């Protein structure tokens, strides 16, 4: 199955993604979602939403691998099982997709390491508003993120 079929197919609710985007655009001035697997389909999303802007919150390979391994250990279903090697390959595939998309759409992508976002969230919000003129209201990260869910081994150097 091609990724285009996945992206132009039906949403879980039975609604086409084109209709879902049109509805959200008609109801909200700005809207978004947080779904890490989206990075694998950014080109398709960009075709569907030409005005798409993407904030990528980058995390180091070791942090992602640890997170995926912990999720696999805690999963009730065996299909969530992932080895450290598989987690590393997933991280590489996602980072490759992000780098390719950012290269092709440099004005529409901002890649921010998680450690930088946590430390300088106000400056990142201001930068997003300056770059994309979308009028985000600043909400401090300390009020919306759970420190226990973020691994402190995060570094501020994204992959190239």
For residue 94, the surrounding DSSP H or E stretch is helix 84-104
pTM of structure: 0.76
Q: Among 48, 43, 61, 151, which Cα is nearest to 98's? A: 43
Please give the backbone phi and psi of residue 74, each rounded to the nearest 5 degrees, phi first: -90, -10
pLDDT tens, per residue, the chain with 160 residues = 222 223 344 456 656 888 888 898 899 888 888 888 889 999 999 998 999 999 999 999 999 888 888 877 777 776 667 888 888 999 999 999 999 999 999 999 999 999 999 999 999 999 999 999 988 899 888 767 666 555 444 443 444 3
């Amino acid at each position: 199955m091609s990724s285009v079929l996945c992206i132009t197919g039906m949403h879980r609710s039975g609604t086409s993604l084109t209709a879902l985007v049109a509805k959200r655009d008609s109801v909200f001035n700005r809207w978004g979602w947080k779904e890490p697997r989206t990075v694998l389909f950014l080109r398709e999303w960009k075709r569907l939403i030409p005005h798409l802007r993407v904030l990528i919150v980058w995390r180091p390979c070791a942090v992602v691998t640890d997170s995926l391994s912990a999720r696999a250990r805690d999963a009730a279903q065996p299909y969530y099982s992932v080895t450290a090697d598989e987690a590393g390959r997933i991280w590489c595939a996602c980072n490759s997709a992000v780098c390719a998309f950012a290269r092709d759409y440099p004005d529409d992508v901002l890649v921010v390491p998680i450690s930088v976002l946590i430390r300088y969230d106000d400056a990142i919000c201001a930068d997003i508003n300056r770059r994309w003129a979308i009028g985000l209201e600043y909400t401090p990260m300390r009020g919306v993120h759970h420190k226990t869910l973020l691994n402190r081994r995060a570094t501020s150097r994204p992959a190239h």
